[in-house]
Every structure is written in structure tokens, then in C-alpha cells.
Amino acid sequence: MTVSRNCQLLVLGAGPGGYVAAIRAARLGIATTVVEAGPLGGTCLNIGCIPSKALIHAADEFHRACGFNGDSPLGIRVASPTIDLARTQQWKGGITGKLASGVGALLRKAGAQVVTGRASIVDGKTVHVERADGEPLQLVCEHLLLATGSEPVALPSLPFGGPVIDSTQALALDRVPRHLVVVGAGYIGLELGIAWRKLGAEVAVVETAARVLPGYDEELSRPVLASLKRLGITVHLECAAVGLTDTGDGLRVRSSQADEYILPADQVLVAAGRRPRTAGFGLESLGLEMDGRAVKVDAQCRTSMRNVWAIGDLTGEPMLAHRAMAQAEVVAEVIAGHRRRFEPAAIPSVCFTDPEIVSVGLDAARAEAAGVEIVQAHFPFAANGRALSMEAHEGFVRVLARRDTHQIVGWQAVGRGVAELSAAFCHSIEMGARLEDVGAIIHAHPTLGEAMQEAALRALGQAVHI
């Protein structure tokens, strides 16, 4: 027998966008139900952002320990470090489990109802749920919020299965591969490829573009390419993965000159990007206006159907958890009668490679395309005391500002730990800061953040330490 239940807001998906929307809406007095088939927190918390950063941290620590197995300028000696990968995976799972439990507690505290099961849309007001306990449920709502996220893109020549794995499986390996081939030199492929190389795998990267991280400008990706070479990762640019060998222990690769060769591979990680998750839950029954594979939304995250909303990866690029969270707040508050729009001046993009990359706002190419005349300046970490004391002298901070008003329109940085500068970059753009504003703010010494101040001063011709 199917049980029926009513609510004001029904959220499909409890990832970063879905659970934030549910919590915010419930706190605003909206009767909210969220449906999720998997663990609370979605891809980001359980099989994406959080576990990948945990694995990266473990790999960094192990690699650092291995670097002390010999002559170190720091005077540290470590003899033959080893890693217990099973314990590492257990530690990583503990982090995601703790955070997922925290999401559940926040939802309960806010008063949002959680239904575990697979949802299927009947119409814009009705959703059928096959619950985990086997008893079907029909949910009727005033507002339907789609927050179903995204999924890895498979390649026709390399369907997932056997030695061919996606990013989720790459995070859960129970042994270090002898030979790992990464197909795709975007941020997901390089983050995981670097981590497994530091854990001891022989790693090769295959990329159809002419350089790694093609989504970032070449000046930012160049230090990452140099790091790949130092780590012993081989990079095959302008090459395509053709398929596995007949024996399944190698990857056939074709170069731009049509030469074909074989790379040995215990595992092949396909990191060819992600796409909005639009299949499997009856989305097509709504007949929503689409933007390619993504659901088209306006500045309040409304779809083409009244009282049906969409947020996060389902709405296309940039597919970032923090974008989904911000959209979630907007939807909850608009439904509650508040005046809100999703029109950020800047959304930070962070690549957790070695070294890290941050990009916020416009770079030179985008500024030129937008017709914005700019002044820009770099400050190298080689001239930053904190960076040198951390053995992190590689990289720089770059600022871009309007030539006429000096209003800051963009920041980019590459170097160790620069992800933590992203908030300050965003603040300056959202607050409409000028070069003079950032240059005059007292920055703590010694910190990496001083490079931000010095870049602004250099753009004004006033830098002190370069």
C-alpha cells in the first residue's frame, strides 16, 4: 500500500545543495522533506571533494616522510617509511562518516524530514519514492527542488568496469596500483594521479589537449606540469585513449600523428569530466527547458515550470559544491518570501594539485573578451618569507584591476596552500575593493597572504619586496 504525505518544499537530493536548501528552508518555517537514495552529503561529502582531499593529505604526508629518507636540508632523518593503506582508507571513511552524521543531525535539528529511497517524478507536484524499507511513498508538494548533482562521463572506448575505473573507485582502492593511467588532465585526474604517485604508483596521464589543466591559463598550469615531471609522472599530450589491450593489462594510445603505442596499466582512471545527472528519476516527464544537458534556470534558480527549482551541478557549469550551497540559500529564501537572486560577482575555483591553483573572477583573456582594459601584476612566492620557510617558494599571486578605476576584477594564484587565499580574493571582488584598498590593509607577517598585498602594490608601482 502506498502512503501519501504532503509538504511545502520537496528536495530531491541531499548533496551540498540539497541539504543546505532543506536546512535553510526548515529554519525559515517551511515544511520541508528531502529524498536521498545514498548517504547524506551526496557526491562531494562521500565520494568526491572531502575523501579526495583526505587521500591527497595522506599522500602528501607519506611523500614528505619519504623525502626525509636520506639527506634533508631540514636535518630530518626518517628510515624507510611505509603506509598501511587499509588504515588510511579507514581514517578517510571516518571523516566522511562523521560529516554525513553531522548533516543528518543538522537536518533533524532544523525540522526537515529525510526520506531514504529512490525518487521518481510523477509531475511537478508529485514524486513517488521506493523507500529502502520497501514501503512505497507518495510525496505531494507545493515546491519541487531538483538537486540531483552530476555523474562521471564515460568514454565509448573505455566503458567503466574491470580495470577501468571512475573517480569514486579511484578513491577506494585497497592497494596501490603498480601502473595507473589517468585519462584526462583536468583537475580531477591530476589531483588523484598525483596522490597515487606519491603513494607509490607509476602514473601516466593521457590528454587530448595540448597542455594539462586546459581549463586554466597556461601560466597557472605551468608549475603543475613541472611538478608532474619532478614526481616522475609521464604526460602524453595531444593523445587519445583508444581502448584496453586484448589482455586487459595495458592502454592503447594514439598520438596526434596517428602513432599508436601501449601504456602498461593495472588500473585506468577515466577522468573525462562530469555531466548533470538527468536520467533515472523521471525528469523528462516535466518537459523543462534545457541548456544542453543541464536544466536551464534564471537568477532565482527557477526552471521553466512554475514552482519547480533546480540548483547545483544539474544546472551546469561551474560544477562546484559552494555554488550549489549558495544557490540553495537563494531558493529557500525566495520560497519564504525574501528578495534574493543568485548573481555572484565571483565564484572561486580551486584545483588541489601540487602545487594548488586558485582562480577568482577574470583572467587576462576573459577581461579582453569582455572589453575590460586592465592593469595586472604578479608577486612571486620566491620573495615571500613564509613561503620560503615552508619550502614553498614556487608560484605566485596575480591581481587584475580596471585600468581606469583600479577596481579589482580578478585574482589567480599557484603555490602550496593557496586554496586558503580564495576567501580573501572573493571578498575583495564582492566588496568592490580597489588596488589601493588591498595595498593599504595591514597583512600579518609572515604569511602567504602578504603576496596578495604585494601584488596589489606592484600593480600600483609601489611594491616593497620586489
Under 8 Å between Cβ of 384 and 401: no
User: Crossing angle for the helix pair 85-110 and 49-67, nearest 10 degrees?
Assistant: 150
Under 8 Å between Cβ of 217 and 187: no
Q: Which amino acid is at 14?
A: A
Which of 57, 338, 443, 445 is labelled catalytic? 445
Residue 123: other Cβ atoms inside 10 A? 13
Q: Cα(238)–Cα(214) distance, rounded to whole angstroms?
A: 12
Instruction: Measure Cα distances from 114 to 14, 68, 149, 432 in Å.
Output: 9, 49, 18, 40
Q: Is 93 helix (H, G, I), strand (E, B) or coil?
A: helix
Q: Which amino acid is at 104?
A: G
Torsion of CA 322, 324, 330, 336, to 10 degrees: -120
Residue 97: other Cβ atoms inside 10 A? 14
Choose among 275, 280, 272: nearest CA to 295. 275
Under 8 Å between Cβ of 148 and 310: no
Q: Omega into 156 within 30° of 0, i.e. cis?
A: no
Edge-to-edge, what's the strand order for the sheet holding 164-165?
164-165, 267-270, 179-183, 202-207, 234-237
Q: Is 128 a catalytic residue?
A: no
Task: Please identify every residue annotated as catalytic.
Answer: 445
